[in-house]
Amino acid sequence: MSAAGRTVRPVSIASFAQSQNVRKDDSRNEAEGLLPVITEVFGNIGITKDDVDFICSGSTDYLIGGPFSFVMALDAVGVWPPRSESHVEMDGAWALYEAWVLFQEGEIDAALVYSFGRSSLGNLNEILTLQLDPYYEAPLWPDIVSLSALQARALIDADKATEADFAAVASRNRRNALANPKAQVRSDIAPEVLLQDDYVVAPLRRHALPPITDGAAAIVLAAGDKARQWGERPVWITGFDHRMETHSLGARDLTTSPSTAKAAEVAGLSAGSVDVAEIHAPFAHQEQILVEALGLDDSVVVNPSGGALAANPLMSAGLIRIGEAAERIRSGQADRAVAHATSGPCLQQNLVCVLEGA
Amino acid sequence: MADETTDSGPVTTLATPIRLDFEFTPGVAQSRFLRGLERGEFFGQRCPKCGKVYVPSRGTCPTDGVATTEDVKLGNSGTVTTYCVVNVPFAGQSIEIPYICAQILLDGANLSFMGLIQEIPTDQIRMGMRVEAVWVDQSELTPSLASVRYFRPNGEPDADYETYKEYL
């Protein structure tokens, strides 16, 4: 298989599990919350921690307000005898990418990737400000909702979208979530009703914002014989890339996502049509920017899971997109799918993963 | 051309104050440990697979990756596995130097934790010394390690090295 001229070693999404996504899980610590997810992701395919060669996680200590939370989370995996392990201070989708690179190098044949995000422990709006330039932007404390509103305003002023479009996106995603038992916000409310919401930060009304979510997710990757042993219908990653844009918001055209378009190009997305797209668009207006950057037409089913507007566990919501897209293929609802993950303010960093059935 | 901004030299410091407040969630297992401290007792949890008892337990066995569900009440005494004598003053120090900081393996536990040793000259501390917890007054007990004032020698003969050599 190849994407954009590169030879890609086939790697399968062998198993996927996610926690129930909730507004606040204040009964369990990180390891206790993660343990059932790890148990399930191994249990789905009848393996144990001893069957994987590598463990990689995505999380951030800023959510918990304590150091080395990713090390403590390893208690949920059990790392004896000593294991090969790594961590990224990014969404778990990037942890999956790191593992995938090791597969491409031929160093591993099976990996566990997981992520956890407890968004409820601090003031998320303030915490996310610390992603910004620490000298000139962060000291002004522009919160993430306000920055996203700047982006939405730019879309409206460029005649690319209306508030009604944002409401339509929110309405569809949360209606889709009715079929997703793990989702946090599930409702069937018409866009015209949503447009009666108050503004949180104009032009963003309540419905255009993601929920605050505690949750965790895990994926087992496998190649070669293990991929076939661990699933009757392997779901292959056939293209994978991630790109980022400049740190300075003022230097970007916030109405487009060239990093997503570039990642899609390198991942070989346009080599064929896709049936399903799972897009990580925490704010409603961002879905339209990403659909355009990915070059998706109206035939593509976007976010059948409900997307990040239905459940947005920080650091996990991107990994969940990949897991959800893989499940559509495994269940036979799709033959080819694309999953997208984002990180940073106003879609600064973007990852594209192309998946295909056997 | 020189002007005021260049004449003043490079800026070497920029203060950007940051303060964030977080809630702490001890979780199910650690809550049991903390509630035990509130009653003046040490509680750990046993791994159903390897049988080790962790104190405090975080709800999973870090070796096996399975839930630790069996609560185990531990003794009030334990063994010093290793120690150091602190002679260096530092900001926020609340104990008069020199003092002894030790790893203590409570009776019935398979994980040592750090404790302060008092009521003994610092040059008499040794590995294997048997110690017991001294608690704050009943009315001052809280779900916190502050409920343990310190550990002190309990008068028993030193423990055999074989009993704690795996916990150094």
User: Domains along chain A?
Assistant: 2-123+212-229 (3.40.47.10), 139-208+236-357 (3.40.47.10)
Residue in this structure with the two tokens 């630790």, named with its chain if needed: B68
Chain B: residue nearest A76 by CA? Answer: B65
Distance CA A285, CA A181 (A): 25
Q: Which residues contact A232 (CB under 8 A, 6 or more apart)?
A: none
CA dihedral (A189, A191, A195, A197) in degrees, to 10, reads 20
Indicate the DSSP class of residue B19: -
> What mean pLDDT, rounded, does chain A reach?
95
**Residue B54 domain-assigned (yes or no):** yes
Amino acid identity for residue A270 in this structure: S
Task: Count up the domains in chain B and report the number.
Answer: 1
- Chain A nearest CA to B141, separation (Å): 23
Distance CA B11, CA A131 (A): 23
pLDDT per position as a tens digit, B47-103? 999 999 999 999 999 999 999 989 999 999 999 999 999 999 888 888 889 999 999
**Looking at the predicted structure, is the pLDDT value of residue B7 above 80?**
no
**Residue B9 domain-assigned (yes or no):** no
Please identify among residues 79-98 of chain A the ones whose CB lies closer than 8 Å to any CB of chain B.
79-80
* Interface residues from chain B to A (CB-CB < 8 Å): 14, 16, 18, 20-30, 58-67
**Sign of the alpha-carbon torsion through B4, B7, B9, B10:** positive
Distance CA A170, CA B118 (A): 62
Domain boundaries, position B43: 27-163
Which ipTM score applies to this complex?
0.87
Chain B: residue nearest A79 by CA? Answer: B63
What residues of chain B lie within 8 A of the CB of A76, using their CB? 60, 65
Chain B: residue nearest A125 by CA? Answer: B20
What residues of chain A lie within 8 A of the CB of B58, using their CB? 29, 31-32, 72, 75
**Residue B15 domain-assigned (yes or no):** no
Give the DSSP H or E segment for A102.
helix A92-104
**Residue B18 domain-assigned (yes or no):** no
pLDDT per position as a tens digit, A84-133? 999 999 999 999 999 999 999 999 999 999 999 889 999 999 999 999 99
Distance CA B159, CA B168 (A): 14
pTM, two decimal places: 0.94
DSSP-derived 3-state class of residue B144: coil
**Residue B66 domain-assigned (yes or no):** yes
Contact B58 A130 (CB under 8 A): no
Cis omega (within 30 of 0) on the bond before A345?
Answer: no
Angle, alpha carbons A288-A291-A294 (nearest 5°): 150
Q: Beta strands of chain A (E only): which ranges?
A: 2-3, 6-7, 11-18, 54-58, 85-88, 110-118, 199-201, 204-205, 214-222, 235-244, 276-278, 301-302, 336-343, 349-357
pLDDT band at residue A80 under the 50/70/90 scheme: confident
Give the DSSP H or E segment for B131.
strand B130-135
pLDDT per position as a tens digit, B47-59? 999 999 999 999 9
Q: Percentage of chain A surpassing pLDDT 70?
A: 98
Q: Which residues contact A106 (CB under 8 A, 6 or more apart)?
A: A9
Contact A27 B27 (CB under 8 A): yes
**Residue B19 domain-assigned (yes or no):** no
Contact A32 B64 (CB under 8 A): no
Whole-number pLDDT of residue A271: 95
What residues of chain B lie within 8 A of the CB of A142, using their CB? none
Beta strand B99-106 pairing with B77-86: antiparallel
Nearest alpha-carbon partner for A130 in A74, A69, A61: A61
What residues of chain B lie within 8 A of the CB of A22, using their CB? none
pLDDT per position as a tens digit, A264-306? 999 999 999 999 999 999 999 999 999 999 999 999 999 999 9
Distance CA A335, CA A273 (A): 9
**Residue B92 domain-assigned (yes or no):** yes
What residues of chain A lie within 8 A of the CB of B62, using their CB? 74-75, 78-80
**Residue B142 domain-assigned (yes or no):** yes
pLDDT per position as a tens digit, A315-329? 999 999 999 999 999
B58 → closest Cβ in A72, A123, A139: A72
